[in-house]
Amino acid sequence: MPDWMGRNLGKSAFSVGFSLSKLSLQSYSNGFNLWHFMGLGDVMEDILAPGFFDEARGLVSLIDHIHISAADRTGIASFHIVDGGLTAILMASSPRLPADLEARQMARRQSL
């Protein structure tokens, strides 16, 4: 299923909520890891909610960073513990998608 940029992605990229299949290790060095989360079925606000990444607790470290591809924008975050849950704290983000692109992205998500 292509996303709003025309990339041909699998159904899991558009599923809602956390899944280990949407998290991938991009690089690692000196104990520092860079991850990518393909969460095109979720808006950034949901991905940044405390505990969203709890299922990955045994994989990620608190010094790791993560690139996030959400339905409404992209961003770079670092992992922290917030309210007892593993949480990504946004360090930088793109602007929200224009409304028409965001609407098309959400329509694709709902059609799956």
C-alpha distances in angstroms, 108 versus 9, 32, 39, 41, 81?
Answer: 12, 35, 13, 9, 32
Per-residue pLDDT of the chain (112 residues; tens, 9 = 90+): 455 455 555 555 667 889 999 999 999 988 889 999 998 888 899 999 999 999 999 999 998 999 999 988 889 999 998 888 899 998 988 877 666 666 776 676 666 5
Q: What is the pLDDT of residue 33?
A: 93
Sole residue written with tokens 């860079």: 34
Sole residue written with tokens 């992605």: 9
